Amino acid sequence: MFVPPRRFTWNSFRSSAPAKDLSSPSAPYVEPCYHQPVKSPRRLAFLPALIALVFLATACVGTVNPEGWAAPVFNGNNIYFLQSHNRLAQARIPSDNKTNLDWVFPDKNNAEQKNDKLQAVYGAPVIQDGVIYLTSYSGGVYALDQATGKPKWHVTGSTISGDVVGGAGVGAGVVAFGTTNGHLYVVNMSDGKPAPNWPKDGLTLSDGVWADPIEHNGTLYVATMGGDLFAYSVANGPGNPVWGEPFHTEGGGAIPDLALLDDTHLFVPSINRHVYVLDISNAAASRTQVDFKASDWVWTKPAFKNNVMYFGDFAGHIYAVDITGGPNGKMMWPQPATADGNRVKSGPAIVDNVLVVADRNPIVRFIDLQSGKQLNAVPITGNGTVRADLETHGNEVYIVTTSGGLYIAHPDNRSVTEVQVGGRQ
């Protein structure tokens, strides 16, 4: 019997939320927090909303005030981060916890950019060959000159169907992005015009797209909030899909994120509490290598080292799962580490043998990679919460808050410092 695809709306998102269960075992040992909170007195604290409330819409409802979050990106001697939910900044990589902005986009002092509005960015910027590709919730997609931050081309929000929650998939000469209305757009990196063999009005999928599309070896992987994962040839377009049938999650559990673990494995988290690892070494079809069940929703990207994926869930559990350990994976710690019931949305980062995790409280936790033992926990106060993925640079981990705060976690001494940002504001 044919079942029409389910439109993933806010009501279904809310009603499908699993009951919170904090009875699961926590880490075998948790040391008390011995580091003072990192305070930001210059900014007012605000009460964090539920992550889902940011998206009052998918297919048919609009969000009045999208907040946005995006991971920082490093390129050369520069860091690129969202100084606010609607402004991208380039700065030098901090020295002694200080840096200055080189440029911001949009620049309120530049008359040429007065009509440019990002209005929330959820996907991390992608940088290739001196160009920054950036998606915006309702502002469309921009290609910016890396040196100046000035637009090279712009796919305006008014020309696409729906809003853009995920980031851009960039590679093989194209920029791909999906919308909450379930449309996939594939445009040329060079000029933002529809790529050959791709429909100019977008490809209609079974449900909305929130995860970043991934381009890998000429194949484009696109996940939907209806639980489908498609694979298309970038060069040939959607007429002849790489996979004869899309991968489908159990019960149609929404796929809010997507990540490439290595050259042959995709990390596919789902709101049905399952985390799937797909073997994509056979281009003709996907194979589920791991189907791991967490305690709650998983909406994050993982850290990955030596075949082990590290990630958190909405119940505040943090997992270490070996993807070579059988059909359900192998837990590497006796029991999950804990974020004390605080949701973990941001992807963690690894430096040497320390896993750095930030929860929504937000508290930055340092966890021993081998045992799952918490080494320290450092609260950040007065500067929003943390939902963006953490990013490693050298021996440090960078954290961006929803209020545009920039922080550095230091795994060597288990501390967190705020970066003082100067220059044009």
pLDDT of residue 65: 67
pLDDT of residue 425: 55
Non-local CB neighbours of 307 within 8 Å, separated by 6+ positions: 322, 323, 324
Residue 166 neighbours by CB distance under 10 Å: 24
pLDDT of residue 85: 76
pLDDT of residue 285: 77
pLDDT of residue 299: 97
pLDDT of residue 55: 42
Task: Answer for the pair 332, 320: CB distance below 8 angstroms, yes or no.
Answer: yes
Report d(CA 123, CA 135) in Å as an integer: 7
pLDDT of residue 43: 36
Sorted by where each starts, the structural domains of the chain and their CATH numbers stand as 24-49+338-425 (2.40.10.480)
Q: What is the pTM of this model?
A: 0.87
DSSP 374: E
Angle at 30 (CA atoms; ends 408, 350), nearest 5 degrees: 35
pLDDT tens across 301-319, in order?
A: 999 999 999 999 999 999 9
pLDDT of residue 223: 98
Residue 320 neighbours by CB distance under 10 Å: 24
pLDDT of residue 30: 38
Report d(CA 382, CA 251) in Å as an integer: 40
DSSP SS3 for 12? helix
pLDDT of residue 424: 61
pLDDT of residue 240: 87
pLDDT of residue 64: 56
What's the first-to-final CA gap in the chain, in angstroms?
Answer: 58
pLDDT of residue 37: 74
pLDDT of residue 11: 36
Positions of the chain with pLDDT lower than 70, given as ranges: 1-36, 39-65, 424-425
